[in-house]
Amino acid sequence: MTKREMFENIATINADNAEIVEFCNHQIELLDSRKSSKKGMTATQKANVEVKAVISDVLAGAEDALTVTELLADERLASYTNQKISALLRQMVIANEVVKTIEGKKARFALA
């Protein structure tokens, strides 16, 4: 049961007590305002979308699957860390945008 449902049930059960109903309605309003304030992306998330687009471009231009080190060799990605690119690639693999293959001890990435 969600918090919203809990407050709605409490308000229904205590319909004759105006103070409890008012409290529950206020809590529901707070939950609604919290939900609406989280709809947008953060600045970091917006920047990550742009970096993912660059990663996709680099992978699209490659003949073979690339390692993270090979991706970082591209001048457009050179300013990022290995960890940052690895984390974004992981997100892209989960979203089925990129395919990860393991060759020996090296992970290679290609567009899906």
Rounded to 5 degrees, φ, ψ at 98 are -130, 145
- pLDDT at 51 (0 to 100): 95
Residue 53 and residue 30 share a domain? no
- In the beta sheet, which residues pair with residue 108? 101
Residue 83 and residue 56 share a domain? yes
Residue 67 and residue 30 share a domain? no
CATH of the domain at 105: 1.10.10.10
Q: What share of the chain is helix, strand, coil (3-state, %, to 5)?
A: 60, 10, 30
Tens digits of residue pLDDT in 36-73: 655 677 889 889 999 999 999 999 998 999 999 999 99
Give how many domains the chain has, as a whole number. Answer: 2
Residue 68 and residue 18 share a domain? no
Least Cα distance to 97 among 58, 67, 56, 57 occurs for: 56
Whole domain around residue 78: which residue ranges? 43-111
Task: Provide the whole-model pTM.
Answer: 0.65
